Amino acid sequence: MNAIPTPDAPHQPRRSTDAVYAQLKQHILDNRYPPGAQILESEIAAELDASRTPVREAFVRLQQEGLLEIVPRHGVRISALSPSDMREIYEVLMSLEPTAVELLARRRPDKAELAKLIASCDAMEAALQGTPDLQAWAAADEAFHLNLARLCGNKRLAAMIMQVWDQAHRARMFTLSLRPLPVQSTAEHRAVVEAILAGDVERAREIYHEHRKRGGLELTTIIERHGIQRL
Amino acid sequence: MNAIPTPDAPHQPRRSTDAVYAQLKQHILDNRYPPGAQILESEIAAELDASRTPVREAFVRLQQEGLLEIVPRHGVRISALSPSDMREIYEVLMSLEPTAVELLARRRPDKAELAKLIASCDAMEAALQGTPDLQAWAAADEAFHLNLARLCGNKRLAAMIMQVWDQAHRARMFTLSLRPLPVQSTAEHRAVVEAILAGDVERAREIYHEHRKRGGLELTTIIERHGIQRL
DNA sequence: TCATCAATTAATGTATGCATTATCGGATGC
DNA sequence: GCATCCGATAATGCATACATTAATTGATGA
């Protein structure tokens, strides 16, 4: 009779599908499967020690996230980003991320709530001291934006930001060493946090919008200058 | 006269998964499966005359779209929207849709390009003449926003708008008869089109933002007044 | 009578087999 | 020599069988 069995303890049973999904996604983000590459169900299945069924389910999930494309009867292809795709991604981020900042700023969070953001700022600054560690900087940058999305209080918004962020991950990593040292970018992050703490919603939004706009421009400039067509 | 396998024209093989997905989605949007309902793989499979495999794939896709939830080992439940979910959805739309309008307006489209939007405006006005036809109005409203998303020139942005729009579909239908006659809303649509034609990017964006803001406020008011918790 | 627990039932998760179809290679004809 | 066609091969799409685990029911004892 009880139609809704609400489990009090949502203990997560290990599903093969989840493991395959997580590893496959990691491999794509790590550029282990290069963009445009065609991959086979059975290869992945053998590699991850699973059958084709969970692999297929993972494929469907990753397709929805835009990380690969399922071409019926042709197999699966890792998504490659064109310059136009990069434009799309940055347009979306320029829309969503300032909104996330605004939502967060409106809540008037205290320093404790922003601890992770502040830590990311510290890490970014540390990464630029002395010999710049671009990998470390990128990781801190990513953590900043991830936590910002999480903190905004809107799960859908957060999920959407993280989705396009993931889509652009490889492109960001690729252009990391081609762009100027992200000193300005680091300062902008710090300024956003301060505007949030000061309760200046409009300023926080504005700084962030400019930050994203500049970042997008920088990236597209690099792409054009190097004539990159797919990444 | 043999069919030469043209690499650029992939004739779409009819996949069972796609059919199951489309029908299942339609049934959810039509409220045939009520929110919160638990559904069984085998039931759907029998109903749509397929095996469980394509049904499961459709489930995964629909979960990614937020229309249902897969609770491991517990089955599948049709998503129910809480007032908080509605807030989230409108926050996302208030962010994305004005951006779509802005992108479209910047392109300086002519009347021909906006034909579908103008037709939707006409249809909305016609639906309010004499005895109001709310169903017809809602269909025209939906067509307007859908085409706007398509026209903005950003596929990712469009997909995101349509996704949350679908999530809110049932709630909109439910509250359709509870809200005041959408005369103001209809006028705002027309005003947006005119601002786009006039090339006034900022005004188009502003009108649209207010339009969405007012719509969200209206809906949340209704939800609160009626004490609706899930829909 | 109620609570607890074991055994049954049933549904999900996974593996595998089968059928369809795309790809590739070779043979044939011009 | 080149294009075309046919057959072999292999990979996907779907169906189904099996394993695992959750829900249910009945029995037992307090």
- Give pLDDT tens digits for A180-213: 999 999 999 999 999 999 999 999 999 999 999 9
Alpha-carbon gap, residue A158 to A162, rounded angstroms: 6
A121: tokens are: 């700022």
Closest by alpha carbon to A193, among A129, A133, A104? Answer: A104
Q: How many CA atoms lie within 13 A of A186 on its CB side?
A: 22
Shortest CA to C1' contact from B42: nucleotide: C11
Q: How many CA atoms lie within 13 A of A56 on its CB side?
A: 14
Residue A10, CB, less than 7 Å from strand D? no
Alpha-carbon gap, residue B148 to B92, rounded angstroms: 16
pLDDT value of position B231: 85
Alpha-carbon gap, residue B67 to B80, rounded angstroms: 8
Across the interface, which of A60, A91, A160 has its CB nearest the CB of B92? A160
Q: Which residue has the tokens 């359709």?
A: B176
Alpha-carbon gap, residue B153 to B159, rounded angstroms: 11
d(CA A95, nearest CA chain B) in Å: 6
β-bridge pairing B38-39 and A38-39: unpaired
Kindly report the CA angle at A93 between A91 and A97, in degrees rounded to 5?
140
Alpha-carbon gap, residue B203 to B226, rounded angstroms: 35
Across the interface, which of A7, A60, A91 has its CB nearest the CB of B60? A60
Cβ pair A134, A176 in contact under 8 A: yes
Question: Residue A181 gets which letter from DSSP?
Answer: P
* Cβ neighbours, 10 Å, residue B53: 16
Please give the span between the terminal C-alpha atoms of chain A, in angstroms, as a whole number: 54
* Residues of chain B under the 70 pLDDT cut: 1-13
B227: tokens are: 């004490």
Alpha-carbon gap, residue B35 to B82, rounded angstroms: 11
Taking an 8 Å cut-off on Cβ atoms, the answer to whether A154 and B57 are in contact is no
Alpha-carbon gap, residue A203 to A205, rounded angstroms: 5
Among B11, B55, B68, B92, most A C-beta atoms within 10 A, so best to mutate, is B92
pLDDT value of position A229: 87
Distance B230 CA to D9 C1' (A): 54
**Residue A10: pLDDT over 50:** no
Shortest CA to C1' contact from B5: nucleotide: C22
pLDDT category at A12 given cuts 50, 70, 90 is low
Strand partners, B70: B76
Residue A73 falls in which region: left (phi positive, over 0), alpha (psi -120 to 50) or beta: left
Distance A42 CA to C26 C1' (A): 28
Residues of chain B (35-74) having a beta carbon less than 7 angstroms from strand C: 40-42, 52-53, 56, 70, 72-74
Cβ pair B90, B212 in contact under 8 A: yes
Q: Which residue has the tokens 């300005």?
A: A184
Name the packing angle between helices B83-106 and B183-197 (round to 10°).
30
Phi/psi at A113 (5° precision): -65, -30
Per-residue pLDDT tens for A40-81? 999 999 999 999 999 999 999 999 999 999 999 899 999 999
- A131 contacts chain B (CB < 8 A): no
Query: What is the C-alpha R_g of chain B?
Result: 20
Q: Which amino acid is at B40?
A: L
Per-residue pLDDT tens for A127-178? 999 999 999 999 999 999 999 999 999 999 999 999 999 999 999 999 999 9
Distance of CA B155 to the CA centre of its chain: 15
Distance A186 CA to D16 C1' (A): 57
Kindly report the CA angle at A146 between A141 and A150, in degrees rounded to 5?
150
Alpha-carbon gap, residue A98 to A210, rounded angstroms: 9
A99: tokens are: 């909104």
Sheet of B68-71, strand order = B38-39, B75-78, B68-71
pLDDT category at A1 given cuts 50, 70, 90 is very low
Across the interface, which of B60, B61, B96 has its CB nearest the CB of A95? B96
Q: No. of H helices and E strands in chain B?
A: 9, 3
- Mark which residues 172-231 of B lie under 8 Å from A by CB: none
What b-and-e string marks burial along B116-136, b requiring 16 or more CB atoms within 10 Å of the CB?
ebbebbebbbebbeeeeeeee
pLDDT category at A9 given cuts 50, 70, 90 is very low
pLDDT value of position B3: 32
pLDDT category at A230 given cuts 50, 70, 90 is confident
Question: Residue B231 gets which letter from DSSP?
Answer: -
